[in-house]
Amino acid sequence: MASAQSQEDQVLEEETSFVRILTLNRPRQLNALSAQMISRLLELFQRYETDSNVKLLILKGKGRAFCAGGDVAAVVRGINEGAKFFSKEFILNYLMATYTKPQVSILNGIVMGGGAGVSIHGRFRVATENSVCNTALFLVIKVFAMPETALGLFPDIGASYFLSRLPGFFGEYVGLTGARLDGAEMRACGLATHFVPSSRLALLEEALYKVNSSDPAVISAVIDKFSLEPYLKDHSAYHWMDVIDKCFSRRTVEEILSALESESTNRADAWISDAIQSLKKASPTSLKISLRSIREGRLQGVGQCLIREYRMVCHVMMGEVSKDFFEGCRAILLDKDKNPKWKPSKLELVNDNMVDQYFSKINDDRWEDIKLPARSNLPATAIAKL
């Protein structure tokens, strides 16, 4: 359990010359982010930024996952604990997104939810091929996903910023359906900056250990030596970007679903039927606030996205409009009956006024908008990651 491990045990720290290697170390929990892990990462990133001896950060996970998201079991125990958890997590995401030194994330295994937050905002994201190598130092990336709508939440951790900046309307597709992407798809859409075969990962890390520079061009050149352009599988949805753009560019979730159902009558592609089923199983409220969040993210900076998403998270936890988040956690994570009872139960029962409430300032003295740390005089490389 998280409480049984110290912060130091949950995030392992290694030093080599001018490089710091941080390893997420909760393998039994698929490295799900605990409050202790978030506090530790925040402490280390703040310290490294002012340390002239640190030129490069490497972040990876122990075991078969990079990070399977935030530890929501801790969040559902109480609103106040949950608010503190999300607040620190979002501040960490903002620090990473505006960091002045390069961060290389080795995405060796499952990357979901909060795991995307501590990697996608960093400068370099290294994915690998979708195969298993039991004797290798790293396991390969099997799945990237933003499964929040199936939990009654929404893609947070700044996801409305990076999903909205993927090609076309691929971000809406990933964010609403929780579609699982492999390493090749991550590279193709830009979630990963590099694709390195698993057989070369140990050599890549060895080369990175010798780096004595914070210049992104230098780091990229090192990774490029071990990289290749991966092969997209024949069944990848990314081959049908024209259909994704046609359907997921629609104004409402109802129109998106209708467009997908219309496409399914003309073609028998598995990704379309999977998308339809995912949308029908997800929380109707979550789908509607997620779509609006991603659309607003297209016109906002990462800080603005995180501030808005934190406000949305607070409304979700307060449960004024819907308690779907707690019901989703019960059905998927706690009781595991996988049969959540969403309220409202249908898309047409979630009106615009209900959606608007999630984006409004909370009129309660106990709640405040998140205050992100001041970040001034940042180089262009610190704010242009995608």
Q: How many Cβ atoms from other residues are within 10 Å of residue 123's Cβ?
A: 23
Local structure of 13: helix, strand or coil: strand
d(CA 379, CA 254): 42
Active site residue 158: no
CB contact at 8 A, 373 and 94: yes
Which residues, other chains included, contact 281 with Cβ-Cβ below 8 Å and sequence gap of 6+?
Answer: 150
Q: How many Cβ atoms from other residues are within 10 Å of residue 99's Cβ?
A: 22
Catalytic hit among 114, 152, 178, 183: 114
CB contact at 8 A, 45 and 99: yes
d(CA 369, CA 357): 15
Catalytic hit among 71, 156, 205, 327: 156
**Closest CA relative to residue 154, chosen from 382, 335, 350, 336:** 350
**Closest CA relative to residue 322, chosen from 346, 291, 295, 293:** 346
Active site residue 70: yes
CA dihedral angle for residue 371, residue 149, residue 66, residue 14, rounded to 10 degrees: 10
Active site residue 129: no
Catalytic hit among 129, 148, 172, 324: 148
Number of H helices, E strands in the chain: 17, 9
Active site residue 156: yes
Catalytic hit among 70, 109, 115, 183: 70
For residue 379, whether the previous peptide bond is cis, meaning omega lies within 30 degrees of 0, is: no
CB contact at 8 A, 316 and 153: yes
Q: Using CB atoms within 10 Å of the CB of residue 8, give its burial: 0 to 12 exposed, 13 to 18 middle, 19+ buried.
A: exposed
Region of 5 please: left (phi>0), alpha (psi -120 to 50) or beta.
beta
For residue 296 the two structure tokens come to 């607003």
**Closest CA relative to residue 69, chosen from 47, 48, 85:** 85
Q: Which residues are catalytically annotated?
A: 70, 114, 148, 156
